[in-house]
Homo-oligomer: A and B are copies of this chain.
Amino acid sequence: MKNKNLDGLKLSLKLKEKYLKIIKDLPSKPKLVVIQIGNDQASNIYINNKKRICEDLKLGFEHLRYSSSVKEEEIEKKIKALNNDDKVDGIMIQLPLPSKFNSSFLINLINPLKDVDGLTSTNMGNLVNNIPFNVSCTALGIMEILKEYNVSLFGKEVVIVGRSILIGKPLIHLLLNEDATITVCHSKTKDLIKHTKKADILIVAVGKPKFIKKEMIKKEAILIDVGINRSKGKIVGDIDYLDVFKKCSFITPVPKGVGPMTIMMLINNLLNSYSKIKKDSD
Report A's interface with B, CB cutoff 8 A: 104, 119-131, 154-155, 157, 163, 165, 169, 172-173, 176, 179-186, 188-190, 195
Contact = CB atoms under 8 A, between A and B. Distances in A.
A176 to B, nearest CB: 5
A157 B194 CA distance: 11
A181 B188 contact: yes
Copy total for this chain: 2
Given A190-B181, A195-B181, A125 B131 contact: no
Contacts of A127: 125
Report whether over half of chain A's contact residues are helix, strand or loop; otherwise say mixed: mixed
Contacts of A173: 169
A119 B131 CA distance: 13
A138 B180 CA distance: 24
Contacts of A124: 121, 124-125, 128-129
Contacts of A122: 121-122, 125
Q: Which residue, A127, A131, A176, A184, has most C-beta atoms of chain B within 10 A?
A: A184
A66 B157 CA distance: 43
Contact of A186 (B128, B163, B181, B188): B181
Contacts of A188: 154-155, 179-181
